[in-house]
Structure 1
Amino acid sequence: MKILIIGGNGTIGTTVATHFNQNNDVLIAGRTSGDVTVDIADSKSIKSMFENIGKMDAIICIAGEAKWADFNELTEDDYYIGLKSKLMGQVNLVRIGQHYLNSNGSITLSTGILADDPVVKTASAAMVNGGIHSFVQAVALEIENGIRVNVVSSGMVEDAYDKYKDFFPGHNPIPMTKVVNAYVRSVNGKGNGEVIRIYD
């Protein structure tokens, strides 16, 4: 398969890309590095990327940002960071990317445990994650050409434990093998409209 991994040079993306590279033709997209560059917060950039790379069999997005801050410190503009990047960025990847997928292709988005089990400072991030879950379940009812859309929602991964452990007291770090398998399930399985939760 020809697979596009947006965010394929990140903490999770690197491990996921390494796995899929074993038996597939993988293209890495990133904001500043990769085989192709893209800013998912800009729909014109998304369209330009797809025009450059052509048809794919699968799209995986492990990218998008949202502001973390105390609720009373978050401004309206702070919320728009997550809405424009992680939420609408991934929505636009589906909206635009479907036209650059071969029949029966798949799109896999990424969120995280905050949608179901938020911690402090994540009012914006949790809201965005929950919105993506609802979007995936709804768009799966209508998307055409045999395309499947799923989302992987992981807890704090082992490779990010040292950086984020203070934000997630008592949370069990998720082994990277489990995270990779969630993306494999989405890409190689037959599920559609699934929120694939890897929390324990």
Structure 2
Amino acid sequence: MKIVLIGGSGTIGSHVYRAFSKDHEVILANRRSPDFPVDIAKKESIEALFKKTGQVDAVICIAGEAKWADFDDLNESDFYIGIKSKMMGQVNLVKIAKEFLNPSGSITLTTGILGERPVPKTTSAALVNGAIHSFVLAFKQDYPEGPRVNVVAPGLVEDSYEKYKDYFPGHIPVPMVKVVEGYKRSVLSSARGELIRIYEP
């Protein structure tokens, strides 16, 4: 398969890249890539990426940002960071990338546990995560037989546990192998319109 992986240089993305690149051609795209640069917050950047890659079998997005802060400290522009990047960035990605997908191709988006189990200082992040969950479920209604679009929602992963554990008291860290399997399920199975939760209910 020919797979475009957006944001594959972070904690989760690097594991996903290693897993898929063993058996597939993986095009690694991110803001710092000299060959396939992309900023999902900019629609024209996404368009330029796929004009360069051409037809693909799958797209995986592990990118997007949102501001963490107490609600009273967030202004409207702070919320628009996540809305423009994490939310509309992934929505625009689907709108553009689906035109470059081969038959039975898939697009995998990424959110996280905050969409259903937010913690303090995450009103902005929780908002955009929940929006993407709803978007994926609704997209299936418009395209019951078209492009497969799923979303993987990891919990606090083991590799980031020490860094973020104080924000997630009582959360059980998720093994990276389990997270990777979630992405494999989205890309390699016939899953369509699924919210793939990688955390304890």
Specify the TM-score bucket, using the shorter chain as the normaliser. Answer: over 0.9
Tell me the distance in 1 between the aligned counterparts of 2:120 and 2:66.
Answer: 14
1:94-105 mapped onto 2 (5 Å cutoff): 94-105=94-105
The residue aligned with 2:167 is: 167
Look up the SS of the partner of 2:65 in the other structure: coil
Instruction: Report the alpha carbon displacement of residue 35 of structure 1 after superposing the two structures with TM.
Output: 4.1
What is the identity, as a one-letter code, of the residue corresponding to 1:82? G
Q: Does structure 2 retain, via aligned residues, the 8 Å contact 1:15–1:180?
A: yes
Tell me the distance in 1 between the aligned counterparts of 2:160 and 2:92.
Answer: 27
Tell me the distance in 1 between the aligned counterparts of 2:35 and 2:17.
Answer: 12
> Aligned pair 1:11/2:11, yes or no?
yes
Q: Does structure 2 retain, via aligned residues, the 8 Å contact 1:66–1:81?
A: yes
RMSD: 1.1
Look up the SS of the partner of 1:67 in the other structure: coil
The residue aligned with 1:196 is: 196
**5+ long unaligned stretches in structure 1:** none
The residue aligned with 1:117 is: 117
Following TM superposition, the consecutive aligned residue runs of length 4 or more in structure 1 with deviations greater than 4 angstroms are none
Tell me the distance in 1 between the aligned counterparts of 2:175 and 2:35.
Answer: 27
Look up the SS of the partner of 1:141 in the other structure: helix
The residue aligned with 2:32 is: 32
Tell me the distance in 2 between the aligned counterparts of 1:2 and 1:124.
Answer: 34
Tell me the distance in 2 between the aligned counterparts of 1:57 and 1:184.
Answer: 13
Tell me the distance in 1 between the aligned counterparts of 2:98 and 2:36.
Answer: 18
Q: How many residues align?
A: 200
Q: Deviations over 1:92-137 (max 9, x none)?
A: 0100100011111000000000011000000000000000000000
Look up the SS of the partner of 1:27 in the other structure: strand
Tell me the distance in 2 between the aligned counterparts of 1:10 and 1:35.
Answer: 18
The residue aligned with 1:81 is: 81
**5+ long unaligned stretches in structure 2:** none
Instruction: Report the alpha carbon displacement of residue 145 of structure 1 after superposing the two structures with TM.
Output: 6.5
TM-score, with normalisation over the residues of structure 2? Answer: 0.97
The residue aligned with 2:148 is: 148
Instruction: Report the alpha carbon displacement of residue 33 of structure 1 after superposing the two structures with TM.
Output: 2.5
What is the identity, as a one-letter code, of the residue corresponding to 2:24? N
Tell me the distance in 2 between the aligned counterparts of 1:164 and 1:70.
Answer: 16
The residue aligned with 1:58 is: 58
TM-score, with normalisation over the residues of structure 1? Answer: 0.97
